[in-house]
């Protein structure tokens, strides 16, 4: 793993949270994007080498809607950038981690992604992400 690529934060209201984080970070989001397969609208802020990803559910069955219903707004996941997602997935699986998806899928911000089950990572949802060239 190369570095923390972003921290995902589940929010109820993306517009309100965009304003809040714009004031907090002193910069506007550089990108807003929907990920239909996950039922979310995302917004990205760049802060140094790391990004903050705000996630708002677009339907009540999305993972973000369920997360907020169960735990409320807050940190949803930590994403690590990897240079070869398939190799990293195989390595982590061989170490006993549970992958939530067996093949990488297209995520927001032009990335291939895979999530690790939080039961094996001290209750923290971990995302692996590789830039799509």
Residue 2 half-sphere exposure toward CB, CA atoms < 13 A:
13
What distance in Å separates the CA atoms of residue 77 and residue 22, rounded to the nearest whole number?
20
Q: What pTM, to 2 d.p., does this model score?
A: 0.92
| Under-70 pLDDT residues of the chain | none
84 Cβ contact partners less than 8 Å away, ≥ 6 residues apart: 130
E strand or H helix at 45? strand 40-47
Q: Encoding tokens for residue 7? A: 């921290």
Q: Encoding tokens for residue 45? A: 């802020």
The edge-to-edge listing of strands for the beta sheet with 74-81 is 31-35, 40-47, 50-57, 3-11, 74-81, 125-131, 111-116, 105-107
| pLDDT at res. 1 | 78
| pLDDT at res. 14 | 98
């Amino acid at each position: 793993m190369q570095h923390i690529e972003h921290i995902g934060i589940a929010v109820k209201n993306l517009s309100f949270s965009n304003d809040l984080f714009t004031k907090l970070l002193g910069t506007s989001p550089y990108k807003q994007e929907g990920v239909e397969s996950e039922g979310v609208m995302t917004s990205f802020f760049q802060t140094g080498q790391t990004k903050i990803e705000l996630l708002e559910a677009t339907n009540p069955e999305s993972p973000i809607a369920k997360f907020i219903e169960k735990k409320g707004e807050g940190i949803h996941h930590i994403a690590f950038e990897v240079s070869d997602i398939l190799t990293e997935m195989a390595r982590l699986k061989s170490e006993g981690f549970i992958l939530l998806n067996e093949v990488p899928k297209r995520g927001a911000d032009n990335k291939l992604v895979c999530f690790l089950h939080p039961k094996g990572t001290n209750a923290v949802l971990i995302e692996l992400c590789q830039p799509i060239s």
